[in-house]
Structure formats: structure tokens, C-alpha cells
Structure 1
Amino acid sequence: MSQPFVPIDIGRVAQVLDLLGQEIEELGQELCRDPATVARHMTQLQAIDRIAQHQHALADLLRAECLTSAVQALGLEDLAARLRDHRN
């Protein structure tokens, strides 16, 4: 038997994405305090930053009044392209 539809507050989803993005940023900042870690893991640290940026951008999209305009205004072209590509 299927479960009844439960409405989801998209604004709260956006808040969770922002909080996760903030946690990831803080993790990256903590790791960057150790020069040896930075030297060994620069690519991974940049990936952490990229993930946080994407989470914040997705949160902004969920709050946007016009998704088309919001996608066009994204500063993250790779994310915007993925969102515009309906095949994936």
C-alpha cells in the first residue's frame, strides 16, 4: 500500500542545504589550518569548497520566485548547465 502524499516545505529543504553547505565550509576551513594537509590535499579541499558552493546555489534556486531567471543568474556555469540539460 502506498504512503499518503506529505507536502514538503521547499524553504526548509533550502535551509538544510544551506546548513550543510556551512558545515562543509567549516570543515574545509578547519582542514586548511594545517599547512601539511593543504599541501597534500589541495584538490580535495577545492572539491569541498565546490560542494558547499553548489549546495548554497541549489538552496537559492529553491527560494527563487523564477527558476529560469535564477538558473541564468547562477555564477556556477557547470551547475547551471546541468540544471538546463533535461537529459540527465
Structure 2
Amino acid sequence: MSNVIRTRLVKIGNSQGIRIPKMLLDQLHLDDDIELEVQDSQLIIRAAQTPRATWAAAFQAMAAQGDDTLLDADLPPTAWEASEWEW
């Protein structure tokens, strides 16, 4: 179901803003940080994605494809590792 609410732009310094009703904020779980995107002449407002938010799903997909092993696991030690590295 679509909620259409009409509002006005308000002046904020040299910019303009909109007031988002609490009902919509609660429904969308919007917090302090949001992302704005212009798409087909529409302004899209969404909660900001946290860094690394999609990493878990990406790692699971890699594991499912067998692409989660270290690429250098079977390489012989380098000369530096053989002479300088101490355990």
C-alpha cells in the first residue's frame, strides 16, 4: 500500500528541506543518516547503508561457489620468509 503525503519545501539557510512525518520515519526505520538519489525525476530517500553491510551475504555466496579459499595457501615460502621470519 502506498502512502502519499503532500508537504512543502522549507527554507533552511541557503538550502531547502522537507519535514518527514514521524509515521513515515517509523515505518521506514530512518535514522540520522540517509541517502538521497535522483531516479527518473524522482527523489528517492532511504536509510544510509552501513559500511560492509553486504559483506556477509557476499562471503556466503563466495563459499557456496567454492571461491573462499586463500589463493596463496600453497605457495612455497619466499627467501625473506625462509631467512628472516621467526615464529
TM category (shorter chain) comes to under 0.3
Higher relative contact order (CA 8 A, sep 6+): 1
More helix by share: 1
**TM-score normalised to the size of structure 1?**
0.24
More strand by share: 2
Larger radius of gyration: 2
